[in-house]
Chains A and B, each alone.
Chain A
Amino acid sequence: MTGARTNTLANLRGSIERIEAHAGATAPARVALGHADADATLQGGLAQAAVHEVFAAGRQSAAATGFIAGLAGRVAARRPLVWVRQDFTEIESGALSMAGLAELGLDPRRVVTVRAADVDAALRTAADALACDALGAVVLEVWGEARQFDLVASRKLTLAAQASGVTGLLLRVAAEPAPSAAETRWIVRAAHSPPAAASRPAASGNAWGAPVFDAQLVRNRHGPVGRWIMEWKCDECLFEKPATYPQPVAAAPAHRPHHASARAPERRAG
């Protein structure tokens, strides 16, 4: 009796070890964002073959879209990008404009958009697309709270991403963060354009307007969190610290995880 029990326990321990070894062994390739501090916190950059969530603060969908477009541009490099969105987002926050994407320095030729009617179709399409290893990244854009985005759905997306090596990016507007299997979670709001530098007189006039984000990393499965002001450099296609920024935002304590994950820091979601 006890022999059988120890045997079972040993078996279970063995399988847990195997699972953990598997999880640890997949040290994913990382793509540097360009922003030195953020890259340091992320241990080299954004993990590929994983799912990352970007939440728009309030209804600031455009800022979050710009941030996620930048992430997708970094991650996908020269491979195709599939952008799955729900019909409703187009009414609420406008359609993704290819002219605008081109202005950000990204290539509209590589974008395929899927106009899903509802969340279910969008989720399923995104899972399909994540399984296709010819892609660089898949963006799934959903407006509002969606009960379909539970742990199971998020775990499925993560598994598909791990299997194919494609990076999944989840754009949520008007939604509250919920537990998920995502690798990182960001909350993005728009930041002021930096004022014209003293060296450049105000007459030049167009120093402002570059996409500047106030990006808060609120969850990071494999490292600390933080908050940075990032500027997307349209010419170089990378994020950078804005050159002159008068009000530095106090960085969040580097080694304290987000309160949501503070409760169970080692918990593996999903």
Chain B
Amino acid sequence: MGTGSGGENASEQNSNPSIVVAKQNNALQIFALDDAAARLGLAIGLPLANARAICPRLRVFDADTAADAGVLNDVADWCDRFTPLVALDPPYGLFLDITGCAHLFGGEAGLMQMVCGALTRQGFAVSAAIAGTSICARTVTRHVSGRIVPDGGEAEAVKSLPVFALGADDTITRGLRRAGLKTIGDVASRARHEITARFGDDFTTLLAHALGQGDAPISPRKPLPDYIVEKRFPEPVATEAVISATLSRLAAMLVAAMDRQGKGARRLEAHFFRTDGAVRAIAVDTGQPVTRAEMIDRLFRERLDALHDPLDPGFGFDLIRLSASRVEIVVQQQRDLDANVHDNDELADLIDRIAARIGGQRVVVYLPQDTHVPECAVMAAPAQHHLAAAQQADWPARVTSEPPLRPLRLFARPEAIKVIAEVPDGPPAWFQWRRATHTVRRVEGPERVAMEWWRSQKAMLTRDYFRVEDEAGLRFWLYRDGLYDRGIAQPAGEIIQPNWFVHGLFA
């Protein structure tokens, strides 16, 4: 089953007719208009100058297509309460796949009444229809609202409708009219190959779908979650206690449903549907499949606690839904004897909780990389997904009985310093960093690191690294960017000073 509903901002009931204009073909043309304007004989596509000539007291607004799309998205969010399969049909349409959902809302007629009633109350002009194929439903809405097309009756339903209702291109619609084919029935009565030859294959397919012969699947906005549990409230709820209690109960239901199939959730979403139509979605990712209700409960509590813009119940929520949008098969582990496994679980739980509060990208583990470039030698990866890999990573062994060769603190962006050093490639003797001067007492180097020319397009200079210790005992890792004989350009005999940087600090 499919529902097409067209919503358009109905303007305020005003004595003055209102129109919305947009620039098309270098001229302001009417983009949308209200009933009063339509009664004056204005039509979409009419230039603004003509419209003003017809009616000087016209109220004119600029079109804002981005805001229109936003509103359509919000309406689609609201429609999520009826079915998880909601598809956008821009600019004004929505498809709802209500297969198996209608009985929850008092049958197809009841569902349609509910949708239209609620949207009309919010000030939208709605036209809705239910039919076996999405295109058929859409075609019907273009002409009449509130119609339910019985199965197999699609051709009959659309036969008498004008061709523009199909929603094909303007050129096609005009072409059909010129050919004298005024209704969809007229077009359908022609031989298929004639229509295809004249108007293309796409149009024939559209026509077939409208007639109920075959169906194009709608593309829902969100992937269908694997498990959904929800709680509807006859009276909207707004208190935190009720909300958290509801989440706990839903978590228990969700876990019970997943447990029957041996699954655990990796991504959980909670949707809060407000009575005024706003929908707030909150998602939580986990590093390991979650199989315990209290863990879900705790993750959401952390997440809700840490929201930058807290959950605003407004006049209350009338539906709270919890869904598991990514699940995994849970491997049962022996827990009693192997303390290590248990510890790892606790660590993963901790990581999940922290990630739920401050974001998964902010909790990281480290993976060694096969490169000599110091800043690329280690990769920070989200701990939720790479914990196991990091715990088994193969780090290069250190050279025993050597002092550390790599600094403990590394600057993401090496900091430029002023250096006095022997030319051409002597070690630094004195340097100034962050407005403090340091006299080098000890130095070790250079350690030459060539950049990876086979990876980067940009030519990068070879670096000479020095470990130095100053008179206060501070140990630095300095480098000279480039070599004297190559890398450092010397145009017109001018001596270019090489750049020196602090890259890290030794303990």
Instruction: List 5 additional contacts besides A69-B408, A234-B398; criterion CB under 8 Å.
Output: A66-B506, A100-B409, A128-B353, A134-B342, A206-B403
A209 to B403 Cα, complex, angstroms: 5
A190 to B400 Cα, complex, angstroms: 22
**Nearest-Cβ distance from residue A57 to partner chain B, whole angstroms:** 10
Chain B interface bracket (under 10, 10 to 19, 20 to 34, 35 or more): 35 or more
A44 at the B interface (CB under 8 A): no
**Nearest-Cβ distance from residue A150 to partner chain B, whole angstroms:** 21
7 A-B pairs with CB atoms under 8 Å apart are A99-B410, A100-B507, A134-B344, A134-B345, A135-B350, A192-B441, A208-B444
Contact B395 A102 (CB under 8 A): yes
Interface flags, A95-133, vs B, CB<8A=1, else 0: 111111111110111111111110001001100110011
Contact B358 A116 (CB under 8 A): yes
Interface flags, A179-222, vs B, CB<8A=1, else 0: 00000000001111100000000000110111111100000000
Interface flags, B476-490, vs A, CB<8A=1, else 0: 000000000000000
A192 to B410 Cα, complex, angstroms: 21
Contact B410 A128 (CB under 8 A): no
Determine chain A's interface SS by DSSP, over half rule. mixed
Contact A100 B407 (CB under 8 A): yes
B329-351 residues with Cβ-Cβ distance < 8 A to A are 342-347, 349-351
**Nearest-Cβ distance from residue A28 to partner chain B, whole angstroms:** 20
Contact A94 B505 (CB under 8 A): yes
- Residues on A with beta carbons closer than 8 Å to the beta carbon of B347: 80, 112, 132, 134-135
Contact A133 B505 (CB under 8 A): no
From B342, B391, B475, residue with most partner A Cβ within 10 Å: B475
Partner of B507, one of A63, A108, A192: A63
Contact B358 A99 (CB under 8 A): no
B38-64 residues with Cβ-Cβ distance < 8 A to A are none
A166 to B13 Cα, complex, angstroms: 68
B208 at the A interface (CB under 8 A): no
**Nearest-Cβ distance from residue B449 to partner chain A, whole angstroms:** 13
A213 to B403 Cα, complex, angstroms: 14
Contact A212 B378 (CB under 8 A): no
A162 at the B interface (CB under 8 A): no
Interface flags, A128-146, vs B, CB<8A=1, else 0: 1100111100000000000
Give the top 6 A-B pairs by smallest Cβ distance, nearest first.
Answer: A66-B507, A209-B403, A62-B505, A94-B409, A103-B404, A134-B346
A210 to B97 Cα, complex, angstroms: 69
- Residues on B with beta carbons closer than 8 Å to the beta carbon of A79: 343
- Residues on B with beta carbons closer than 8 Å to the beta carbon of A69: 408, 507
The residue on A at minimum CB distance from B343 is A134
A109 to B397 Cα, complex, angstroms: 13
A239 at the B interface (CB under 8 A): no
